[in-house]
């Protein structure tokens, strides 16, 4: 804590030093410009009086000239005051132009395939190979699996095996090196990315909560939802009770990043969003990994309500939460090395059984 405080004070000190230097330079520029303008005006007036006394210029002409000179001087003074702001704007403009010039990381089809009104939710990875950036070591090499309509499938494996990456590829945040990912038999790269992602409801581990009311935070699941629909989603997500205990109920501001909520409450807000979205495919990415036992029970019940009738893909480190999955796929070295339900995989005594044993030992200790 002391070291973190020391580092923070040092960072603030450096920022203060830069700001002080900028203000001093700006002040010197303004002072110098005012001095030069003042000297120039005095010189003009002195020369003008010389011309008036010699009869070469009328007093009215001198008055007009001094007035115009004063107007010009005030304009020049204003320019000097805003010069530093102009420089800052120029730097910001460069960064904005860099963002505008960036190309998307995926290829958007010129004539995207239209999605059916009711997507079945059949997901298939066919010989998928993928590596981040230009890495030579592929995260996936020949990854194959198929998930049927309404099936609940869990992905488990060691850290870094790429379980969450499967979700990112399915929603097409990245393009593949080889192979095909399909939804209802059509390659995902033939759809408009916006339309494709509308078919998924996600419940992530790190929930993004905005500094809005509980009502508006849940409504991010579907912007045109009515208040009654939002409340119904909150009830199904086991969130209605704790929301109503707050000072203003659904109008209560949840704070930046949900600072007024516990981990379990944030997860239930995310589940309410997913219920409101009512998408055919549900993606649960470590949805209960950071919760205590009591919160996990409530969230697990809400997830059961959410998963009914939907194709559900789960990434979980807490293996106790996926025992009821229709199938469990064990991901290791870029491939599916084991497949089956909990009982089948325990009887095989392979990678999955070892992971379960390690977790049980950790809980026991």
Mean pLDDT calculated for residue range 187-216: 87
pLDDT exceeds 90 at position 182: yes
**What is the CB neighbour count within 10 angstroms for residue 202?**
20
Mean pLDDT calculated for residue range 275-285: 87
Confidence of residue 106 (pLDDT cuts 50, 70, 90): confident
The Cα 123–Cα 305 span in angstroms is 21
Higher per-residue confidence, 297 vs 10: 10
The Cα 125–Cα 146 span in angstroms is 6
pLDDT at 180: 93
Backbone dihedral region of 167: left (phi > 0), alpha (psi from -120 to 50 degrees) or beta?
alpha
The answer to whether 360 and 352 are in contact (CB under 8 A) is no
For residue 288, what are the contacts with CB-CB under 8 A and spacing of at least 6?
Answer: 267, 296, 299, 300, 303, 316, 318, 321
pLDDT at 134: 65
pLDDT exceeds 80 at position 107: no
pLDDT exceeds 90 at position 175: no
DSSP SS3 for 133: coil
pLDDT at 125: 93
**What is the CB neighbour count within 10 angstroms for residue 130?**
24
> Which whole-number Å values give the CA distances from 142 to 145, 284, 288, 337, in the listed order?
10, 24, 30, 12
The 10s digit of each residue's pLDDT in 229-263 is: 999 988 888 888 888 988 888 888 887 777 878 87
The 10s digit of each residue's pLDDT in 80-104 is: 667 667 777 777 787 888 888 777 7
Strand partners, 338: 330
The 10s digit of each residue's pLDDT in 19-29 is: 888 788 777 87
Quick one: which H or E segment has residue 189?
Answer: none
Higher per-residue confidence, 127 vs 64: 127
Q: How much of the chain, in percent, has pLDDT values that exceed 70?
A: 91
pLDDT exceeds 60 at position 363: no
Which ranges of 177-316 does DSSP label H, i.e. alpha helix?
193-197, 214-219, 227-236, 240-244, 263-277, 293-307
Mean pLDDT calculated for residue range 255-284: 84
Confidence of residue 362 (pLDDT cuts 50, 70, 90): low
For residue 15, what are the contacts with CB-CB under 8 A and spacing of at least 6?
Answer: none
pLDDT exceeds 60 at position 365: no
Furthest-apart CA atoms within the chain: distance in Å: 116
Range with lowest mean pLDDT among 24-38, 182-196, 339-353: 24-38
CA count, 13 A, side-chain hemisphere, 51: 15
Q: Answer yes or no: pTM beyond 0.85.
A: no
pLDDT exceeds 60 at position 348: yes
pLDDT at 124: 93
Mean pLDDT calculated for residue range 355-361: 80
């Amino acid at each position: 804590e002391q070291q973190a405080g020391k580092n923070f004070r040092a960072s603030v000190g450096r920022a203060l030093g830069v700001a002080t230097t900028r203000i001093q330079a700006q002040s010197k520029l303004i002072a110098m410009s005012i001095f030069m303008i003042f000297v120039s005006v005095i010189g003009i007036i002195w020369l003008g009086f010389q011309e008036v006394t010699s009869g070469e210029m009328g007093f009215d002409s001198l008055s007009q000239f001094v007035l115009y000179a004063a107007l010009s001087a005030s304009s020049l003074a204003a320019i000097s005051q805003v010069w530093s702001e102009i420089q800052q704007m120029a730097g910001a403009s460069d960064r904005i132009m860099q963002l505008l010039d960036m190309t998307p990381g995926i290829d958007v089809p010129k004539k995207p395939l239209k999605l059916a009104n009711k997507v079945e939710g059949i997901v298939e990875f066919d010989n998928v190979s993928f590596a981040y950036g230009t890495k030579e070591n592929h995260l996936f090499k020949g990854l194959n699996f198929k998930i049927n309509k309404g099936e609940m499938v869990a992905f488990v494996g060691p850290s870094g095996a790429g379980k969450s990456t499967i979700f990112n590829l399915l929603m097409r945040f990245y393009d593949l090196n080889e192979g095909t990912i399909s939804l209802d038999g059509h390659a995902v790269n033939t759809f408009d990315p916006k339309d494709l992602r509308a078919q998924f409801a996600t419940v992530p581990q790190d929930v993004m909560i905005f500094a809005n009311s509980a009502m508006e935070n849940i409504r991010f699941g579907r912007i045109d939802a009515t208040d009654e629909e939002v409340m119904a989603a909150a009830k199904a997500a086991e969130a209605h009770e704790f929301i109503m205990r707050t000072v203003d109920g659904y109008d209560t501001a949840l704070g930046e990043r949900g600072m007024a909520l516990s981990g379990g409450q944030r997860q239930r807000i995310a589940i309410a969003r997913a219920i409101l979205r009512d998408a055919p495919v549900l993606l649960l990415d470590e949805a209960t990994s950071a919760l205590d036992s009591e919160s996990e029970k409530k969230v697990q019940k809400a997830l059961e309500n959410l998963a009914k009738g939907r194709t559900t893909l789960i990434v979980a480190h807490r293996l106790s939460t996926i025992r009821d999955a229709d199938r469990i796929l064990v991901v290791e070295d870029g491939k599916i090395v084991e497949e089956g339900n909990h009982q089948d995989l325990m009887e095989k005594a392979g990678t999955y059984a070892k992971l379960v044993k390690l977790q049980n030992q950790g809980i026991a200790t």
